[in-house]
Structure 1
Amino acid sequence: MKRLLIYGGTFNPIHRAHLHLAREFQKRINAQKVILIPARIPPHKEAPNLASGEDRYQMCCLAAKEESGFEVSDMELVREGPSYTSDTLEQISREHPDCELFFVTGEDMFLTLLTWHDSQKILKNATICGAPRSRSGLFRMRAYAEKLKNYGGKTLIEDISYLPISSTMVREALQKGENIRKLVPDSVADYIEKHSLYQERKHESYTL
């Protein structure tokens, strides 16, 4: 049975740590394909300074071109309402009945999975993959994985080296006029520059 690795997120913008995590899980589970899925409306977190769905989709496409076996889906961008992972995994499961699905997430989101919309459907349709981003994270994630097992969930926790990069860090660097090429692929940096994304400078106010 073929294996698909699903990685959803706001990708605002996509950066090197996203790609590193997906690439490592791709190797460890021998996934034939990695599908990046930018969210239309993220239901689990605030998304300040959110670029348009089209811009985030195009940046994901540029990043995916540099990776073997990576592709991008706009299924959440064209779906009305919040981008629920349960709906996404159910759709992919229907479209790829001959494939085993693996859904990758970071530490923070993994540890809240049972609070997600229709979490039982998520656990039914995919093995949940996660990696820690803190020293205590591995222990906490493995403990939470045992809890998910009680709900019929399958998990894969891997101690993957963490790249200290976030989308917030990229946006803040741009607002300060700093070079972001160590944080995002060159093609993504070029796209951000060409379309002037995230570059509203913060102005200090002075009292005279």
Structure 2
Amino acid sequence: MTRKKIGIMGGTFDPIHNAHLLAAEQARDAVGLDEVWFMPANIPPHKQRPDIADTHHRLRMTELATQDHPQFTVTDIELTREGKSYTVDTMQQLVDTYPDYDFFFIIGGDMIAILPKWYRFDHLSTLVRFIGLMRPGSVYDKEALSAYVTFVENPVWELSSSLIRENVRTGKSLRYLVPPTVECYIKENRLYEHFA
């Protein structure tokens, strides 16, 4: 039986935006993933920003953003587990739950170089292969990293969740930055309006 290839796209998704979706699709297509599971990260109790959206909002926006792609789905595994969420613990739980799947963790170009410094990386690298989304012009020691990273070219798109939050605060358009369903959700729930 062929093992299913599952990509994991983690992030705060506050909010999820079109660059997240594009990156997941590039990884899916390049590596031949059967599915990509979007995994909103838990936020530590000492929230970094006063305007961070509650867990249920971030989860719902991620569900709305991915609902029209048959190979995209959402998992709340990090949101429902108690305590700190380290990637190694999450991946161990997924591997234990789905022993017949092969997991691929999708990371941005900024994370590739520091990957070996991740918590318990030696063990993590036995649980999952990484898909590194490269930016044109970025320099990596591909030979050293190739044991645990599959490199994928990714179009440059300078889009961030902080830009979207700022657009909300200043009344600027979100069109083409987030899916229409996410834009409607942000407006209906008045997210990101009140903090500078």
**Misfit runs of 4+, over 2 Å:** 46-49, 145-149
Matches within 5 A, 1:50-89: 50-89=52-91
CA–CA distance in structure 1, aligned partners of residues 137 and 113 of structure 2 = 12
CA–CA distance in structure 2, aligned partners of residues 146 and 88 of structure 1 = 27
CA offset at residue 47 of structure 1?
A: 4.6
1:165 aligns with 2:167: no
Task: Tell me the residue number matched to 2:36.
Answer: 34
Task: Tell me the residue number matched to 1:192.
Answer: 186
Deviations 1:110-168 (A, max 9, x none): 221122211122211111111123x431x32xx1x43345xxx4211111212221111
- Identity, in percent, stands at 34
* Counterpart amino acid of residue 168 in structure 1: S
CA–CA distance in structure 2, aligned partners of residues 50 and 201 of structure 1 = 10
CA–CA distance in structure 2, aligned partners of residues 92 and 47 of structure 1 = 28
1:136 aligns with 2:140: no
* Counterpart amino acid of residue 137 in structure 2: S
CA–CA distance in structure 2, aligned partners of residues 84 and 122 of structure 1 = 10
Which SS does the other structure have where 1:11 is aligned? coil
Q: Give the TM-score normalised by the residue count of structure 1.
A: 0.86
* Counterpart amino acid of residue 23 in structure 1: E
Q: Give the TM-score normalised by the residue count of structure 2.
A: 0.91
Task: Tell me the residue number matched to 1:146.
Answer: 143
5+ residue gaps, structure 2: none
* Counterpart amino acid of residue 80 in structure 1: E
Matches within 5 A, 1:169-188: 169-188=163-182
Task: Tell me the residue number matched to 2:119.
Answer: 117
Checking the alignment, whether the CA contact within 8 Å between 2:13 and 2:58 is kept in structure 1 is: yes
CA–CA distance in structure 2, aligned partners of residues 146 and 86 of structure 1 = 23
Higher mean alpha-carbon deviation, 5-14 vs 120-129, is at 120-129
**Paired positions, count:** 191
**Larger RCO (CA within 8 A; separation ≥ 6):** 2
Checking the alignment, whether the CA contact within 8 Å between 1:21 and 1:160 is kept in structure 2 is: yes
Checking the alignment, whether the CA contact within 8 Å between 2:27 and 2:133 is kept in structure 1 is: no
5+ residue gaps, structure 1: 203-208
